[in-house]
Amino acid sequence: MIAAWSAGQPPSTTAALTLSLTGPFARQGTDAAQGLELWAEEAGVRLMIIDDGGSRSAAIRAYAAWLHQGVDLLLGPYASGLVRVVAPLVSDAGRLLYNHGGSADDLARPGLVSLPAPGSTYFDGAVEEAVTRRVDRLLVARGPGPFARTVAEGAAARASERGLEAETVTVRSLTAAGAAGAALLVVARFGEDVAVVRRVRGWPRAPALLGAVAAGLPAFGEQLGGAAEDVLGPVQWWPSSRRPEVGPSGADFAGRYRRRTGREPSYVAAQAAAAGYLAYAAHHQGLAAETVLHWRTSTLLGSFALDASWRQVGHRVRTIRWQHGRMLLVGQGGAGAPGLD
């Protein structure tokens, strides 16, 4: 278990969550942990993190124990599959679970306070870019699991609305002939996304547009180098100097993260920290679940608003493009993220 809190007087507020510090989501889990550690130090919160290793049973055991230990703030794990099994346990006990790491559309339920925009919207920007480039066919290659299905179905629906022919295939069945001339979007686990992009770069005829969910993480460009060029990806966060109602600005958070780790923060780190700031503010204002449901505010992640089904409707996904080794925000005149150039 990792525990962190600020120096000085013992913290009066405790927070806990599981993260995959090892296993299939270790990259994202580590990023989330570092973002939350920054929040805990600033807020003076005692933060407890248990490595779930991607195991549902490990996550369930940890949250069940915390429910009986009187932990003040419960934050969710990373990955929709883990949130899916933990959320009923916490909400059925009458507690709020602040979700930063799951964005599958089916997660919404009373008591689950989600900050990320729904996964079905991840490729909205990529579809619009395909329309702009006059591409008339969309091909989504997806991995297994409900989250990949959510993203793929959302992209296909958006493409159909915009007049594109849309098709979904599995990552394993993707072929060069099928992708030739199409807008190809990939949604699988990080390593699979990277492997598909490498494979596509060797094809004699390239897709008209290439996008991947993993492209929204700095590690995507670090691993692929020049092969990442012009790949589109979704990001839940883009640093801004605008001060939100709750917590620091995105630019301030990015600067602190950079000084602490020597690396650029991913949106995974930012959305985790944002969940911490939001949970802490709600707790110290004594907000009940019904009040949180109707709360309209903002964090470093952006706007926060839930609808009647507890689905996040205030925040939206942005789209980036990799150019010359850095991420640029699509539709913003080529402006790059601070520190990413």
Whole-angstrom distance, CA of residue 40 vs CA of residue 126: 35
Token readout for 251 is 């630019």
Buried b (16+ CB within 10 A) or exposed e, 94-131: ebbbbbbbbbbbebbbebbbbbbbbbbbbbbbbbbbbb
**How far is residue 43 from each of residues 4, 61, 87, 119, measured CA to CA in Å?**
11, 27, 25, 30
For the four alpha carbons of 55, 58, 64 and 67, in that order, the dihedral sign comes to negative
Q: Report whether pLDDT(283) > 80.
A: yes
CA atoms within 13 A on the CB side of 265: 34
Residue 337 has pLDDT above 80, yes or no: no
pLDDT at 11: 59
- Name the superfamily (CATH) of residues 121-235+319-329: Response regulator (3.40.50.2300)
* CB-CB neighbours of 53 under 10 Å: 17
Structure token digits, residue 271: 């959305």
Taking only the tens place, the pLDDT of each residue in 30-86 is 999 999 999 999 999 999 999 999 999 999 999 999 999 989 999 999 999 999 999
pLDDT (0 to 100) of residue 25? 94
CA dihedral sign of residues 79, 85, 87, 93: negative
% of the chain surpassing 90 pLDDT: 93
Per-residue model confidence (pLDDT) at position 12: 84
Confidence label for 121 from pLDDT (cuts 50, 70 and 90)? very high
The domain segmentation of the chain, as residue ranges, is 2-117+238-304, 121-235+319-329
For the residues 159-175, what does the mean pLDDT come to?
97
pLDDT grade for 190, boundaries at 50, 70 and 90: very high
**Do the domains at 2-117+238-304 and 121-235+319-329 have one common CATH topology?**
yes
Question: Taking the domain 2-117+238-304, which CATH number applies?
Answer: 3.40.50.2300
Q: Would strands 2-4 and 209-212 be described as parallel, antiparallel, or unpaired?
A: unpaired
3: tokens are 């525990």
Give the pLDDT of residue 338.
38
Global pTM?
0.90
Using the predicted structure, report yes or no on whether residue 3 has a pLDDT greater than 60. Answer: no
According to the model, what pLDDT value does residue 8 have?
42
pLDDT the model gives residue 331: 80
Q: What would the mean pLDDT of 272-292 be, rounded to a whole number?
A: 97
Strands 302-304 and 297-299: antiparallel
pLDDT for the residue 332 = 58
The overall average pLDDT reported for the chain is 93
Would you give the end-to-end CA distance of the chain in angstroms? Answer: 35
Check: CB of residue 43 under 8 Å from CB of residue 54. no
The pLDDT of 19-26, averaged and rounded, is 95
